[in-house]
Amino acid sequence: MNNQAYFKDKVVIVTGASSGIGLAAARAFGAAGAKVVMAARSLEKMQELSASVAPEDKVLCVKCDVSVEEDCKTLVERAVERFGRIDILVNNAGLSMRAMFKDLDLKVIERLMDVNFYGTVYCTKYALPYLLEAKGQVVGVISIAGYSALPARCAYSSSKYAIRGFLDTLRIEHLKDGLGVLVFAPGYTESNVRNAALVADGSAQGKTPLEEGKLMSAERCAEYLLKALRRRRSQRILTPLGKATVFMHRLFPRMTDRMTYKFIAKEADSPFK
């Protein structure tokens, strides 16, 4: 079954849809004939981009800060009011950080948990009755850091581990209900997430330590996401490095710790230096 056959007229909510993987996914769903609900804090930006996602009658833009429970509730209500159902929820909105824990203002951890973890919890909670009715699917876009921790990203890794635990639990609870639950873990992907990442005092990093052009494109990542949903996968880990890291962490955790340390120490302006 191809994307057009599977996703045509399905109602899909994508959070963090104004850039990066979220925007690429919204466009991919739209190209496959889905009705797309774009959610992000930047309403004007989404409205400018919406024409590239789907025809006007098949796209809805909703201003939503996923760290605010009421915003998530309103998002779901607006989606159902406009399209009558929800088939897929893609919890993609996220925030990163880069600093050693010893230097970190605790408000950074709180902020990342609010956006990454509670954003996923809030949206899933309010969408769940409609997803169960449709025997639909819920996705959590996590990271390899949700399987094998990244130093200088303690809040980020913690939030991604938490999302994985939450979704794995949800999958078991609804094993007999026809609900699909996908934990989707990209590796390093070209995006704005590292520019927006918070540093020790809670301000934005404003730059990336990686060569973004050499990373997997957001569009390629979105292709993998749609394929995993179409096959109703429960887990998808991307990139050879990501797969190797998860495998090594499971079998050789201490060796993986040392290799990860060396890898992060080579970053530009590494916090280790």
Q: What residues are labeled active site?
A: 156
DSSP state of 114: I
Query: In whole angstroms, how far apart are CA 183 and each of 43, 162, 166, 174?
Result: 27, 12, 10, 15
| Burial call 239-272: b when 16+ CB within 10 Å, e when fewer | beebeebbebbeeeeeebeebbeeebeeeeeebe
CB contact at 8 A, 116 and 74: no
What six digits make up the tokens of 252? 């050789």
Q: From 131, 41, 172, select the one nearest 94 (Cα to Cα).
A: 41
